[in-house]
Structures are given as C-alpha cells and as structure tokens.
Structure 1
Amino acid sequence: MTQPQAFAFAILIGLMIAFIWGRLRYDLIAVLALLAAVFTGIVPHKVAFSGFGDDIVIIVASALVVSAAFERSGVIEAFLHRVAPRVTSVQGQVVILVAAVTVLSVFIKNIGALAMMIPVAFQMARRSKASPSSFLMPMAFGSLLGGLITLVGTSPNIVVSRMREELTGQPFSMFDFTPVGIGIAAAGVVFLAFGYRLLPRDREAVPTMEKALSIKDYMTEARITGNSQVVGKSIRHLSALLDDEVMVTGLVRNQVERLLPLPDLVLQVDDIVLLEGDPEALERGIRRVRLELEGHNRPTEAKGVDEEIAGIEVVVGPRSVLIEQTAKRLALHN
C-alpha cells in the first residue's frame, strides 16, 4: 500500500468515526476531511474547491431554492389546514404526511420536501398527543421513495444521469425512473401506513432553552390590514382560522380603545388583535390570516410568572422570533 492510499484510508476511517460519534456537524466533518486530504497531498490544492462549481451542485442548490419558494407560498399549509382537522387517528395522519412528502419529492428536492412538512408533523403530533417520532421517520422514508420517481427528486439520480452521459453520450430523461419509482413508492407508502408501529415511541429530544425556562406561551400584536381574511368577520371566525391553537386575548381599536374579544365582535381594518400561543402557531396563524406584525410600537403584555421572572418579551413575526429584555416592564410591575 502506497503512502497516498494509506492517507486516503485513514481519512475515510476518521470520517466514518466522526459521523458515528455525532458530536460535530456533518458539513463540518466533510470540510475537515477535505482539508485533511489537501494537506496530505491526496487532493491538489488548486482543485480542492472546484466541486462547488459543478453542474450537480448548482442543480441541487436550485432545487432547494425552488423548494423554499414553494414552502413560503403556503399552498401545502393551506391544503393540510383543510384536510388535517378531519383526520384524528395517528395512522391516518401518518398516511397523509407520508403521501404528501412522497408526492412533493417527485417534483422538488426530497430534502426540501421533508423540511417543508416537518412543522406540519409537529403540529399534528400536538393535536393527537402522539409522539413526533411516529411521523418523522416515515416521512423521511417517504421523501426517499418519492425522490426515486423523477430525475430531480434526489441527488444520486442526477449523478447517475451524468455518469451515463459521460459513458454513453445519452443521459437519463426526466421520467426514465418513473415506472420503477412509482411501484416502489406506492409499496413503501402502504407498508409505512402499518409499519410505523415498529418505530420507538415516547422518545424525547434534549430539552431546549425554552423548556428549561418553562416558557409555554408567547404574546404578540398583529394588525388587521385590507388584505386580511378577517376584515368584516367576527372574532369567532378569526379563532377558527387560527385552529384554536392561538387565543385572541384582546383587541385595540383606534390605537387607544381597548375592547373585550367577544366572539361576535366584528373586526375592522387597522384593528390590533392581541394573540397568545406557541411561537410556531403564532407564526403560522399570522401568515395564514395575512395579518401584519404590530408589536414593535407597544409593549406586549405577557402572562405567567416565568416570563416576568425571566424578564423576556417575545414578539413573533413572519419567519422569526425576536426575544428582548424588558427590565423596564419589570420595574413598572414592582
């Protein structure tokens, strides 16, 4: 065995050990392996990063951009918002999630399809009081199965197509994988509809900082705009659109008039509603109802002893959660 071969095997073994160890991020491990290959002379330094300009990398990156755009369009969330409340059993929810991820993976990158559906899975798990592991692992399998149906579903299909072009001069077309892929995906979805019971249950992740502080709910303010779906509608209609995950705790009209959120109270343009709930549920609700974040101009009143002790005010806006220290508010309470 030559010295470069010994270095190559040593780097590969170290790479596998680092992946199994799991203490470092996978992308960091890959970069460290590349740097080790450059320093040992296995990979010439002039071409060390040439792979980032490869067509496959650009295609995969473009697929992820399309996936992110599709996610932000809200099409999938709007569809599941209508379907999910009618399905209460864990098995039915598994079938819906796996089928949705599988179908999405046919047309967009399977990783992006899975990332789009993970928040929906957690939402369904909270509603049915089931373990998220019952949904997440079948969804991961569904994304892999759906990616087998078309050329762009998964990266290995693109790599194989390119290798075929180099060897024969003719790459695979978009739907050359479809006849075999559809059969495998259909069989996989049927199996997962029953096989999810084989997965470990009641497995919990490491507690987050939020759980450590025992902060359960957040409050924020949102303005009713002309594009909102609740203009001229009642508070009851707004609560229904929020899936009852978010509570309407107050309403401010004309900037100063505070009204009780009675169910029959009709909402008007420029009304400010006070919302309380889980941060992800607040984000989904604000986006779904087309409200406008308002909490920057007026301090948000938060419930709970834990929030006051921690001195934290949370303002939830589209795609973000902003945490600010509110010592002044504590001083006023004291």
Structure 2
Amino acid sequence: MTAEMIVVIIAIILMLVGLFFEIVRPDLLVFGTLFFFLMMGYVNTEQALTGFSNEGMLTVALLFIISGVFERSGLIERLIGKFLANTKSERGALVKLLIPISTFSAFLNNTPIVVTLTPIIKKWASEQKISPSKFLIPLSYASIIGGTITLMGTSTNLVVNGLLQQEGKEFTFFQLAWVGLPVTLIGLVYLILFSPKILPNNQSLIEKVKKNTKDYLSEIVVTYEFPHNGQTVEQAGLRNLKGLYLIEIIRENRSITPVTGETTIYHGDRLLFTGMLSTIADLQKRKGLTLDTGTDLSLNDVEQQDAPLVEAVVSHQSYLIGKTIKQSRFREKYNAAVLAVHRNDERVQGKIGDITPKAGDLLLLVTGQDFDPNQEHRDFYTTSPIEEQKFYESENKGWLALILLLSMIALVTFQVISIFKAMVIAVGVLIAIKAISPKQAKQSVQFQVLLLIASALGIGNVIKETGTAQFLGATIVESLAPLGVLAILASIYVMTNVFTELITNNAAAVIMFPIGIEVASKVNLDPIGMAVLVAVAASASFLSPIGYQTNLIVYGPGGYTFKDYIKTGLPLTFIVMITTIGIVYLKYI
C-alpha cells in the first residue's frame, strides 16, 4: 500500500464520518473531499470533473423535470386516492397502494412520489381511524424495490450505468429486471403480509400536539395599559424573548402569521406564544400584558383563523441544516412560523428560534396565506394535506406526459435511441407543449443532488486512478477466496449496503463500483453482473431513515424510531440480498 492510497482511504473515511454526523450538507462535503484530492494532485482536472458531464448524471437531471410534470399534474395522487377510496382493511389498502407505487417507481423518481402520497395516505388513514404508521414505511420500501426493475428506476441505476459506460459496457433498459422483478414481487408479499404486524400504531404529530395544547401554546392579551401601542414587535421588545417565540397575533378575529419584527401591535391584540412556556410568567409582569387563562385557545382555533397547521420534514439538502431557526430567518423566508420541532418522535426542548434542525426533523408549522408547500429549493417536504393547495397543471397534461414517457421507454427498450437522448426529447416536448414552463423545470431539478452525484463520480475516479480500488479488490479476493465466489459477492453487497445505510445511495455506489469491478475481473464475473449487484445493494436501504431520501421523508410523519426500521427492514434486507446474490451468481458467473 502506497502513501497515496493511505491518504485516499483516510480522507474517504473522514468523509463518511462527516456524512454520518451531518457536519455539513452532503453535497458540499463530498465536493470538498473531491477538491482536496484535486489539490493533492491525485487526479487531474478532467478526471475530477468528469462527473459533471457524465451521461448518467445528466439523465438524472432530466428525470427530475419529467417527475416535476407528474407532481404538478396530481395524476398519481388522484389515481391512488381512487384506489384507496372504498378500502377499509389494512392489508387491502397495502395491496392497492404498494403494487401501483412499485410500478410507478420503476419509471419515475420515487422521492416526489412518496412526498405527494404521504399526506394522502395520512388523510385516508385518519378517516378510517387507522394509524398512518402502518403504511408509510411500506410506502417507502415499495418505492425503493420498484426502482430496481428498470434502468431509470433510481438515480443510482443511472449513475452505475454511467460508470459502466466508462468500462465499455452498459445496461439495457430492463437489464436490472432479472434481479429487480423477483426482488419486488417477494418484497411486496413480505410487506403486505407481515409489515402490519410489525409496525407500531403511532399518532401524527398534529394529533399529539392537539392533545397537549397547553404544552405548546400560551395566550397573552394586550390591554389598554400597554405602552407600545402602534409600535412594531421589535420596538415593543417582544422579538428576542428568552425561551418564547411569538407565532401569531389574533386581531378582531383576524389572524396575522407569521409575525415578523416589523409587525405592529395594538391594544386588544391576542399574542400567541410557543417555546419554553415556563418563562411565560416573566412576560406577563410587563405592563399591559396579561396571560389569558380563560379562553382555552387550542390548535383547532388556530386553524380556524386561516392559519393552517402543516407538518414538514427537513430534507438532506436543506438550507436549514447547520443554522438555527432564527438564523435562517424562517418566518420571512417561508411565510410560516415553527410551532414545534420533533426528532426521533420526541419534541426538541428549548426556545424554537435556537433549535438547529437536522435532516429528518419534523416541523409543525403555522402557515401564512403566501406559504408555498413546493418551495423552489426543497428545504423541507410538506407531509400533511393542504386543502388550499392547487395543482399547477391539469390531469390531462399528466396523461399526456405519461404517454410520451412510455413512448420514449419503448424506443430505449428496442435500442432505437439511448435513454439520455430519449429524456432530452421528452423534456423538450413537455416544455414545447407547455406541460411545464422553463421556470418550473428549473425548480424541479435538485441541484444539490446533482452536485453530490457529480462529486462522487470524481471521487470514484480518485479511487481507481490511485490504485486504491485495485488494492482493496485484491485484498477482498485473497481474504475470501477459500470461502468461494458467493462469499466474495456477499462481501461486496454487504459493504455497499452498509455504506448506503450510513451515507447516501449514490455515494455508496460510486465508492464501491471501482472496487467491485476489480473483484469481478479476479473471479471471472461479468462486469455487468457486478454492476447489477452494486446498483441493487446501493438502493436497498431498509435499516435506517438516513440512507435513502424516501425513508427520511416518512420518518417523522410516521412517528418512527430507528428500531422500527430495523424490525421491518432487516427481513427485507436479507430477502433482497439473498435473491440478488443468487441471481447474479447463476446468471453472470
């Protein structure tokens, strides 16, 4: 092992630790690691930046736009809503939910599918008096395994295909279906039969908070003795209160939210506070402020004041990570006030403005009239129904987009054109017929995800060019050769899967691909077979909420703990692993 290899391995380990502990946003951390390697001279500029022109990465960008059309049309939500309409039982609902979800996920980005269906499932479960936690993890898992069926099923498949093209080979459109279809069928049977017995009966965050309103809300009445009548919140000294957060002002049955430092206060206003309510006694000592204990204002009253309550999950690439709620200027930026923050199904204590959100945190928001549930940068995903929300486009355009997509898939399947060219044509047509505007197309693209993929591809080149992949591949083969090829395949699968659970699926695939290819050459395995193994292992994240975006999205709304993912996901992990290794061994050795 050379000194260069040692530095590369140490740097990658530090990057993995940083990703696990969420020191900074994943895309910035991976890009920073790539920049370090570039400065050290381990790769040249072309090798480091090759990921930014990689066909797989660019195809992912185009698929974001196509998924954006479906998200705006509301087509998938309406179809699933109709499927669930007359369903009463848990297993019946799972059948009607998971089969179409896994099918949709084979052809569309599963993240927007899970985002848009989570509030629908929660609303349906509430109407049927069934816990939504019985459905949300199965929703995520079904979308993951469905994505293993086709080349475009997940960004990971496209990234691995881009790496494979550098080796002079590539996937056909349904190449992964040899593994993905059996995995999906067996996985769905497991989820439908067994997940209802394993998963907990949890209430939604809104329901929990409504049962404990006094732990969250206190009401202060502004009397005629208040010396700051007509002044702003800032001038009245109510802006930076220790342990308290002013989320709403009720004035003559009219709601003012979110409250900013420039909001004016008048006699008769009712001020609604949240936070460390034990300090409310200090506030009512001020002249003209009286704690109202007789009105018994509840969260239902808040909602009736045209300030709907919304649950939102902080995303991996969120602008909020690393900043306190106050530093991020949350109220001004999103036109919403944070009522509570829950992490690991427990409320985060302390003053709301001083809390630093993490990926997966569940925020309970009191929203203003201009609140946008589909904010441009996807800092969080709204997971509760918003009655006023309108779809941007008609359902007809959703059907048109579906027909166009299926036509392009047919051309790719019969190898008339490449998947990249097919997606370029599809996006061009969708923009030309105004199914999506250029602005909406830009908003649909998750640039942080693309930066992560492109940077990870550069790091993959570092692992390959420095000889690190060859060294690690040879070490694995030499160590496990006495146990046979199956043991070697299992080691690559497990390593990839562990990386996926700890970091992200795309980063795991890019790190393990060059090592896997070296191993494949030494055990006479077709590189296509190793690429399939790595792609499936990188997607099969079932043991934690942090390895895969869809698991993170349902984490807070389902009120889950890490233990719930392990109990439900461990059997599915073994099912997918055994099926994948067995098929790869039989087909590609």
> Normalising by structure 2, what TM-score?
0.34
State the structure with bigger RCO (CA 8 A, min sep 6), 1 or 2: 2
Q: What residue in structure 2 maps to residue 72 of structure 1?
A: 72
SS in 2 for 1:150: coil
User: Partner amino acid for 1:189?
Assistant: L
User: Partner amino acid for 1:92?
Assistant: G
* Cα distance, 1:213 vs structure 2: 5.4
Q: What residue in structure 2 maps to residue 176 of structure 1?
A: 175
User: Partner amino acid for 1:181?
Assistant: G
CA contact (8 A) 2:121 2:132 kept: yes
* Cα distance, 1:173 vs structure 2: 2.2
User: Partner amino acid for 2:171?
Assistant: F
Q: What residue in structure 1 maps to residue 543 of structure 2?
A: none
Whole-angstrom CA distance in 2 between matches of 1:159 and 1:41: 25
1:282-304 Cα shifts (integer Å, max 9, x gaps)? xxxxxxxxxxxxxxxxxxxxxxx
Q: What residue in structure 1 maps to residue 184 of structure 2?
A: 185
Counterparts of 1:182-221 in structure 2, within 5 Å, are 182-196=181-195, 197-199=197-199, 202=202, 212=216
Counterparts of 1:1-334 in structure 2, within 5 Å, are 1-22=1-22, 24-45=24-45, 47-162=47-162, 164-167=164-167, 171-196=170-195, 197-199=197-199, 202=202, 212=216, 278=309, 314-315=368-369, 319=373
* Cα distance, 1:277 vs structure 2: 5.3
RMSD value over aligned CA atoms? 4.1
Uncovered stretches (5+) of structure 1, i.e. residues with no partner: 221-245, 251-273, 281-305, 307-311, 322-334
Whole-angstrom CA distance in 2 between matches of 1:100 and 1:53: 34
Change (3 A) 1:12 1:121: farther
Change (3 A) 1:8 1:122: farther
Whole-angstrom CA distance in 1 between matches of 2:171 and 2:374: 41
Change (3 A) 1:198 1:170: same
**Aligned pair count?**
237
Whole-angstrom CA distance in 2 between matches of 1:194 and 1:170: 39
Whole-angstrom CA distance in 1 between matches of 2:194 and 2:23: 30
CA contact (8 A) 1:97 1:117 kept: no
CA contact (8 A) 2:101 2:142 kept: yes
Which piece of structure 1 moves more, 61-70 or 33-42?
Answer: 33-42
1:1-29 Cα shifts (integer Å, max 9, x gaps)? 33321221112211222233245433333
CA contact (8 A) 2:309 2:367 kept: no
Change (3 A) 1:59 1:41: same
* Cα distance, 1:192 vs structure 2: 0.5
* Cα distance, 1:75 vs structure 2: 0.8
CA contact (8 A) 1:93 1:124 kept: no
User: Partner amino acid for 2:369?
Assistant: V
Whole-angstrom CA distance in 1 between matches of 2:169 and 2:10: 37
CA contact (8 A) 2:101 2:139 kept: yes
* Cα distance, 1:58 vs structure 2: 0.6
1:201-231 Cα shifts (integer Å, max 9, x gaps)? 53987999x9955989xx99xxxxxxxxxxx
SS in 2 for 1:86: coil
Change (3 A) 1:110 1:179: same
* Cα distance, 1:66 vs structure 2: 0.9
SS in 1 for 2:369: strand
Whole-angstrom CA distance in 1 between matches of 2:198 and 2:187: 14
User: Partner amino acid for 1:86?
Assistant: N
CA contact (8 A) 2:310 2:367 kept: no
CA contact (8 A) 2:57 2:158 kept: no
Change (3 A) 1:182 1:320: closer
* Cα distance, 1:186 vs structure 2: 1.5
CA contact (8 A) 2:110 2:144 kept: yes
Q: What residue in structure 1 maps to residue 243 of structure 2?
A: none
* Cα distance, 1:49 vs structure 2: 3.5
User: Partner amino acid for 1:315?
Assistant: Q
Whole-angstrom CA distance in 2 between matches of 1:99 and 1:51: 34
SS in 2 for 1:118: helix
Whole-angstrom CA distance in 1 between matches of 2:43 and 2:133: 40
1:101-123 Cα shifts (integer Å, max 9, x gaps)? 21111111233433343333333
Whole-angstrom CA distance in 2 between matches of 1:92 and 1:13: 45
CA contact (8 A) 1:94 1:134 kept: no
Uncovered stretches (5+) of structure 2, i.e. residues with no partner: 219-246, 249-253, 256-299, 312-338, 340-365, 376-589
CA contact (8 A) 2:101 2:143 kept: yes
Using the aligned pairs only, state the percent identity: 27
1:37-70 Cα shifts (integer Å, max 9, x gaps)? 3344434456533412211111011112111111
> Normalising by structure 1, what TM-score?
0.57
CA contact (8 A) 2:15 2:33 kept: yes
SS in 2 for 1:315: coil
SS in 1 for 2:368: strand
User: Partner amino acid for 2:62?
Assistant: S
Whole-angstrom CA distance in 1 between matches of 2:102 and 2:367: 39
CA contact (8 A) 1:4 1:41 kept: no
User: Partner amino acid for 2:368?
Assistant: V
* Cα distance, 1:159 vs structure 2: 4.0
